[in-house]
Amino acid sequence: MTIPNGNACFVMICIFHLRLNSCKNVPQHYEKAFLLGVFIDMSRGLKTISQGISLFTIGGIGYVIIENIWRGYSHVTMFFAGGLSFLCIEIMDVRLGKSVNTFGKCILGSTIITTIEFVFGCVFNLYYKMNVWDYSHLPFNLFGQISLVFSSLWCLLTYPVLYLGKSIRRGLFKEGKKRLYIHKLYQNCGKYQKEIATKCKL
């Protein structure tokens, strides 16, 4: 069940509410289920945005800390590169679920980080001449911005990142049992909506 936003959503709720009141064949809890579905649809969008911002911030801060430990300094652009990498890896992990094993996700995570690193390197190092990093001295490098050596390290780094992401989703975002409960409610709302439409000829 996909609900439009803004005034269209409000109008639809009002119309459906009036039609439900005029229909005697529909149990009262169906109306509550439908309204709950509307609320879930609207809140999911806001929750997704807030979670994305949180993951981006955690990833950015985390990578800046790693860089300071690794080489003693960092750069503001690394906050954005780290945040974007962490967010993309989390999206990949959630989307793929159990269809891809951990090793496969580590390979994909390394690809994500390497791609972001190459884009940031071309923009900030080659174009703007900021010289944030330079891999020219490493073997198998491309324009000094990415290297097979660091891509291998990113593959290893993805493993704890995946674990951290799951911990954040379960702890900070309260996913798991509560998410499954909401998902079942959401599915029931779609079922109730179809039954209501049939009985009331909506």
Per-residue model confidence as pLDDT tens digits over 113-155: 999 999 999 999 999 999 999 999 999 999 999 999 999 999 9
Distance in angstroms (rounded) separating the CA atoms of residues 135 and 147: 6
Is pLDDT at 92 greater than 90 in this prediction?
yes
Per-residue model confidence as pLDDT tens digits over 21-78: 555 554 555 555 555 555 555 556 557 788 889 999 999 999 999 999 999 999 999 9
Distance in angstroms (rounded) separating the CA atoms of residues 83 and 94: 17
Answering whether pTM is above 0.75, one says no
Return the axis-axis angle of helices 102-120 and 76-96, rounded to nearest 10°: 150
Per-residue model confidence as pLDDT tens digits over 99-116: 999 999 999 999 999 999
